[in-house]
Amino acid sequence: MPTVLIVEGYRFFFFSNEGFEPPHIHVEKGDDHAKWWLQKPPELEYSEGFKPSQLRRMRELVAEHEDEFAKAWNEHFHRS
């Protein structure tokens, strides 16, 4: 479960067994959890516990760090 980034208390990560899915990033803070597809603009797959204001901020952070997340995804799942 590689952690790619921690910012503002949000932990951005992916699960190592999800390489069969399109690139995405999971986000957790406390007991709350969300999943975002890495596309432009980022698309929320699901969320549990986050407030709308948190999801708006999270969307900004996913968009801001999308290249970093995609690079980490590709390096992890497409190793030679």
This prediction has a pTM of 0.93
Residues 6+ apart with CB under 8 A from 58: 10, 27, 34, 36, 50
pLDDT in tens, the chain (80 residues): 799 999 999 999 999 999 899 999 999 999 999 999 999 899 999 999 999 999 999 999 999 999 999 999 999 988 64
Task: Please name the residue ranges forming H helices in the chain.
Answer: 52-64, 66-77
